[in-house]
Amino acid sequence: MEKKIGKSKTFYLGLQHVLAMYAGAILVPIIVGSALKFTPEEMAFLIAIDLLTCGLATILQSLNNSLVGIGLPVVLGTSFVAVSPIITIGTHYGISAIYGSIIAAGIFVVLFSNLYGKLLKLFPPVVTGTVVVIIGLSLIPTGIKNMGGGQSSPEFGSAENLILSFGVLVLILILNRFFKGFLRAISVLIGILAGTVEAAFMGKLNTDAVVNASWFHMPSPFYFGVPKFELVPMLTMIIVGSVILVESTGAFLALSKITGKELSEKDIIRGYRTEGISFMLGGLFNAFPYSTFSQNVGLVQLSGIKKRSVTIAAGIILIALGLVPKIAALATMIPTAVFGGATVIMFGMVVSSGIKMLNGVDFADNNNLLVIACSISLGLGATVVPDLFAILPSTLKILFGDGIITGSLSAVLLNLALNKPAKADVMSVPDAVLAAEAKSV
């Protein structure tokens, strides 16, 4: 039985969870905000509200009652799966349609949480691994553009930007090669901080957003306007939400294995329902869809601390950070090139995670190879050549013109067409997937 830990230790252990996920938590709002041309003030709000909603979602999922909560030491953050679809929806339909689609996806997940367990057989390792690989590959071009300083930057590819981005990349690699434990867990955050300090010496920091940001604000629903409910964006986000649930299921089962707590079907359904509620919170407060962060699963295994009180403390810290826009605005000072050095590794790690998931696939079966080959080709092709589906009506173009959605649909449909239906239920995620989730930090 685990020893009791005091309040101060609980706080520091919770802070460690926040530090392990902080870089990932702030990267998504920065990438999305930059792509959609948000002002520095809007960016500061987006980061602050994202941190606050991460905290609320983490507390809800860490609970264990008859309505909500998986009852495991989980930390929720913004899913990278949603980045590309959100940018596409925002570009074609506007900001309001993003939040309408997120709310709709959340309602859908809550209403059909009982059925999602049965639908998981549509997502065996050959599908989930392929989808995650496609997600990583579709994000890498964004990371590379950021390394140069951002594609629209007049200084794109300058010597200063390359020095900053590659300096961050090399530092993160050094920390992962020569250090273990906590320092390795926060290597991305250290890399970003070091890169920012270097940028300050080079005179590349803009502090206006921090100076102008307030010290405290209360979250206001519909900050970017009343949500707009468009059919195609809603369908797109429901598909994204389904992929996110599969991603979270691997984390749930990995934590179940680490903590020794057996999960029933009811537990899994409560976990899905809570993620749906988290989606709805993200839409109402103009934030994002949320999923269980795998790096925090690895931290639970690494630290050996399996108490839910620690992740609830992490949630409280995130809420506190989200109420202070001046702290959130600090992230807007970080040059794009610095984030590029970090994101190119993080996006590459998404690809690596997908490859790990594919370890559980029988490669002697030619049908599996066809599912992987066709899905990745179509997914990456739609990302690199978005005009492929230019002939389609605009309502369908956004659905099939997104590489992640195209690749995901291809993987599911090809697996159904070429392989026999899986007989496994919700509790039968292969050990290869669990190992991949449990080992990622």
The closest of 104, 114, 119 to 412, measured between CA atoms, is 119
Q: Report the pLDDT value the prediction gives residue 338, as an integer from 0 to 100.
A: 86
Q: Report the C-alpha gap between 192 and 345 in whole angstroms.
A: 12
Relative to beta strand 76-78, strand 290-292 is: antiparallel
Q: With cut-offs at 50, 70 and 90, classify the pLDDT of residue 30.
A: confident
Phi and psi dihedrals of 78, rounded to 5?
A: -65, 130
Q: Report the C-alpha gap between 106 and 289 in whole angstroms.
A: 8
Q: Report the pLDDT value the prediction gives residue 426, as an integer from 0 to 100.
A: 43
User: 441 pLDDT exceeds 60?
Assistant: no
Q: With cut-offs at 50, 70 and 90, classify the pLDDT of residue 432.
A: very low
SS3 of 76, please?
Answer: strand
Average pLDDT over residues 132-137: 78
Within a 10 A sphere around the Cβ of 217, how many other Cβ atoms? 18
Q: Report the pLDDT value the prediction gives residue 295, as an integer from 0 to 100.
A: 63
Q: How far is CA 221 from the centre of its chain?
A: 22
Q: Which residues contact 211 (CB under 8 A, 6 or more apart)?
A: none
Strands (E), 187-279: none
Instruction: Find the domain containing 79 and state its range.
Output: 7-439
**Percentage of residues in the chain with pLDDT exceeding 90?**
15
User: 434 pLDDT exceeds 60?
Assistant: no
Within a 10 A sphere around the Cβ of 257, how many other Cβ atoms? 18
Q: Report the pLDDT value the prediction gives residue 105, as an integer from 0 to 100.
A: 94
Q: Report the pLDDT value the prediction gives residue 440, as an integer from 0 to 100.
A: 44
Length of the chain: 441
Q: Report the pLDDT value the prediction gives residue 331, as an integer from 0 to 100.
A: 67
Tokens of 187: 């290597």
Q: If you compute the radius of gyration of the chain from its CA atoms, what whole number of angstroms results?
A: 21
Tokens of 61: 């999922």
User: 430 pLDDT exceeds 70?
Assistant: no
- The answer to the question of residue 37 being in a domain is yes
Q: Report the pLDDT value the prediction gives residue 229, as an integer from 0 to 100.
A: 92
User: 429 pLDDT exceeds 50?
Assistant: no
Q: Which residues contact 147 (CB under 8 A, 6 or more apart)?
A: 161, 162, 165, 166, 169, 337, 340, 341, 344
Q: Report the C-alpha gap between 330 and 315 in whole angstroms.
A: 20
Q: Report the C-alpha gap between 196 and 417 in whole angstroms.
A: 50
Tally of domains in the chain: 1
Chain position carrying tokens 């026999």: 420
- The answer to the question of residue 2 being in a domain is no
Q: Report the pLDDT value the prediction gives residue 60, as an integer from 0 to 100.
A: 93
Of the segments 98-102, 254-258, 282-286, which one has the largest average pLDDT value? Answer: 98-102
Give the model confidence (pLDDT) of 272-300 as tens digits: 999 999 999 999 998 888 888 766 676 67
